[in-house]
Structure 1
Amino acid sequence: MPRTCHLHIGTTKTGSTSIQRSFCDYDDGRTRYLRLRIPNHSRVLAALCAPNDAEALRQAKLTPAKADHWRAAMQDQIAEFPDHDLIISGEGLSMWADPEMIARLAADLHAFEAVRVLAYVRTPDRWIASSFQQQLRNTALPYDIAALFPLFRDWFAPWEAAFGPDNVTLVPFDPAGFPTGDVVADFAARCGLDMPATPAPREKPALPAEAVAVLYAHRAARGVPPLADRTDALVNRALVEGVRALGNTPFRVDPAALAPVMARHADQMAWLAARAGAFPPVSEPVSPVFGTARDLLTFAEAQRGALAGWLRDIGATGAVPDDVVGMVDAAYAHLRATL
């Protein structure tokens, strides 16, 4: 059997964390998981493959010297176990769309006779909803379906060019079709690996529409939340997790708003269908659905009563503002004073 690198490149919100945490200590005598600072290799590999990129280094929390250290560590592991296959996993890799970065990674993996690239992909509506709510936790961004639309061909064609179409596998993310309904089991089966001994952790559930709308309203008014230090991060995390209590409505994209965007990107979808096959059927979402920023802001205003109740539940004192943005400001202030 050729020496193989199993290169899992995403996409986001398709069970990548479960794969990484389950396999991070994997070594069955013939296949090892790359030890590269943390189980998610996305940011470190971006820093290594985008040399002299200050932002990539900042995102990975690396200095140039540390980046050199981890490049050497990766090459040492590849050389130290010449009879071992290797697992690399980073959902952020699917977004590179940069032939030069991918070529640098391919060069780093030259010792392998085969590099098998694997990515899981969601339907555009589910990917937009999942990606938007995930990013909204820590940043401010517009709710623009056209801008959020996943450009599958643009993302994955460079990987095909680097490693060959036969070595890139795109899999519709459909837990109902996975062994035991588990993406970790599906990944193991596709790579010909035994299931890891570490139980797969549960992925953090997506934020409900109530939380998404409230966070969006606050981000739209106030911008990116303060994230200068660890305290800021803890306060923001507590706020994001706290607003889950506002409701349990699934956050779904309006099919009517998505339809013209899908039509404009019919070529992207045809390209994907030729490689991944048909997506499983998706049931029509129930109301409410969200097609525009106005939809989100209107839904946020409907959460004022629930927000006021949540502020009382967490012990916030003083007069409660009567607007959503003011209530979230009060929640941030309370959490910062009490955490």
Structure 2
Amino acid sequence: MKRLFLHIGFNKTGSTSLQKTLARNAGALAEQGILYPYDPQAPYMQRWQHAPLAAAVPGRTLSWLVPKKRATLTEAFPTLRGRLEHGAFETLLLSSEGFGETAMGQEKIRWLKRQFPGFDISVIAYIRRQDAYFLSAYQEGIKAGRTRPFDFADHADAKDLYFGRRLAPWRAVFGSEKVIVRPFDPQVWPEGELFFDFLRTIGADTAAMTPEPPENEGLDYRAVEFMRQLNLLESGTQAAALPRVKARKLAATFSHLLAAADTRRKMQLSSEQAEILRTHFHDDNATALAGSGIAVEAFFPPVPQGRPARLAPPSLDPQDLLRLIAQLSPPSHRS
């Protein structure tokens, strides 16, 4: 029986980098009998991942699915089946964090399972300790246009942070033994590479494989606040003057400028805040990690004391902003 490894994310765990690397190494994977269906023009694929397959599940919507793929959504599974019928492989890999969103309840997962008769299916989910996940999700919200400042109290109602609950419907449908949970932690990956950890998880050889550099690296905490303030402009009377894509580019340039000056610092919670999260999510993390061989204390160990919070500056340094303006200004030409 052919095998299917269904990578469901979760989001904020390097999925984009992993998908890009799988696509770039599709040829080397094929030599091992592993198929990562990669055709950016196919209805079942959006860029490097298989998001249209997640969006095609009845009752699902993916807000980030591009219009071109939304228009061909009914063709997503039929074209994938056609691709599989003409492929020589023993193992199939499909990947999208869209599969792992909280909207995927048991009925939707059962429907997804029925689309792959004759496959021995295993589900792979990466989970990230909540202090890092929480800040990454906030930053992603800012990139998407959020204007509200960071509020630590939001953690209690953030459904995405309860990994045990998110995994429960997948375990109910496929069985706990078929749901593989891995930590998003370079310290436990072979050579510190997410791609190599994924390959080892599916039993593939890492020889002749080339990992891609990480994508979606976090911004400096001052650049995050800079973008939030740009979002406020966008949402106000001057909305048309600053499209979101320009705001993102400005913030990225600002962050790179700070990095070049060796002053780049990412967002971080204080020791006390991180410890609150560790305690609050302890039992749910234990549930998520059950059967993985990873102790909950190893996944999210006690937090060293004395670390200050670094969330948003009281104000942006005018000197940093002047450097940004200078960076963006075209060079002058003397006549």
**Offset at 1:152?**
0.6
What are the Cα deviations for residues 259-315 of structure 1, in whole angstroms up to 9, with x where unaligned?
44554444312312434423164764875415xxxx52xx15143331233123312
- After TM superposition, the structure 1 = structure 2 runs for residues 67-86 of structure 1, keeping only pairs within 5 Å, are 67-81=73-87, 84-86=90-92
* Residue in 1 that maps onto 2:226: 214
* Mapped pair 1:43 → 2:63: no
Residue 126 of structure 1 aligns with an amino acid whose one-letter code is A
Question: Which has the larger share of helix?
Answer: 1
Most deviating of 42-51 and 126-135: 42-51
CA contact (8 A) 1:17 1:40 kept: yes
Cα gap change, 1:167/1:219 in structure 2, threshold over 3 Å: closer, same or farther? same
**Offset at 1:169?**
1.1
* Mapped pair 1:11 → 2:10: yes
Cα gap change, 1:264/1:286 in structure 2, threshold over 3 Å: closer, same or farther? closer
CA contact (8 A) 1:46 1:93 kept: yes
Alignment partners' CA distance in 1, 2:290 and 2:64 = 38
- After TM superposition, the structure 1 = structure 2 runs for residues 236-275 of structure 1, keeping only pairs within 5 Å, are 236-244=247-255, 245-246=257-258, 247-275=263-291
**Offset at 1:90?**
1.2
TM-score when scaled to structure 2?
0.78
**Offset at 1:207?**
0.8
* Mapped pair 1:159 → 2:173: no
Residue 325 of structure 2 aligns with an amino acid whose one-letter code is L
What is the DSSP-based 3-state SS (H/G/I as helix, E as strand, rest coil) of the residue aligned with 2:99?
helix
Unaligned runs of 5+ in 1: 318-339
What is the DSSP-based 3-state SS (H/G/I as helix, E as strand, rest coil) of the residue aligned with 2:65?
helix
Alignment partners' CA distance in 2, 1:111 and 1:186 = 27
Most deviating of 196-205 and 131-140: 196-205
Alignment partners' CA distance in 1, 2:252 and 2:184 = 25
What is the DSSP-based 3-state SS (H/G/I as helix, E as strand, rest coil) of the residue aligned with 1:95?
coil
CA contact (8 A) 1:47 1:60 kept: no
Alignment partners' CA distance in 2, 1:227 and 1:79 = 49
* Residue in 1 that maps onto 2:145: 139
Which residue among 104, 128, 136 is the counterpart of 1:130? 136
**Offset at 1:190?**
1.1
Cα gap change, 1:217/1:255 in structure 2, threshold over 3 Å: closer, same or farther? farther
CA contact (8 A) 1:14 1:120 kept: yes
Cα gap change, 1:202/1:27 in structure 2, threshold over 3 Å: closer, same or farther? same
Alignment partners' CA distance in 1, 2:53 and 2:219 = 28
* Residue in 2 that maps onto 1:289: 309
Alignment partners' CA distance in 1, 2:187 and 2:276 = 29
Alignment partners' CA distance in 2, 1:107 and 1:311 = 55
**Offset at 1:248?**
0.7
CA contact (8 A) 1:57 1:64 kept: no
CA contact (8 A) 1:9 1:89 kept: yes
- After TM superposition, the structure 1 = structure 2 runs for residues 82-93 of structure 1, keeping only pairs within 5 Å, are 84-93=90-99
Pairs aligned (count): 304
Most deviating of 182-191 and 204-213: 204-213
Residue 9 of structure 1 aligns with an amino acid whose one-letter code is I
Cα gap change, 1:122/1:57 in structure 2, threshold over 3 Å: closer, same or farther? closer
Which residue among 95, 99, 108 is the counterpart of 2:106? 99
RMSD over aligned Cα atoms: 3.2
Q: Percent identity?
A: 22
CA contact (8 A) 2:50 2:95 kept: yes
What is the DSSP-based 3-state SS (H/G/I as helix, E as strand, rest coil) of the residue aligned with 1:219?
helix
Cα gap change, 1:152/1:58 in structure 2, threshold over 3 Å: closer, same or farther? closer
Alignment partners' CA distance in 2, 1:257 and 1:94 = 27
What are the Cα deviations for residues 160-190 of structure 1, in whole angstroms up to 9, with x where unaligned?
1121100001111221221111111111111
Cα gap change, 1:62/1:314 in structure 2, threshold over 3 Å: closer, same or farther? closer
**Offset at 1:37?**
2.4
CA contact (8 A) 2:34 2:90 kept: yes
Unaligned runs of 5+ in 2: 39-43
Alignment partners' CA distance in 1, 2:239 and 2:144 = 8
* Residue in 1 that maps onto 2:115: 108
* Residue in 1 that maps onto 2:41: none
CA contact (8 A) 2:274 2:303 kept: no
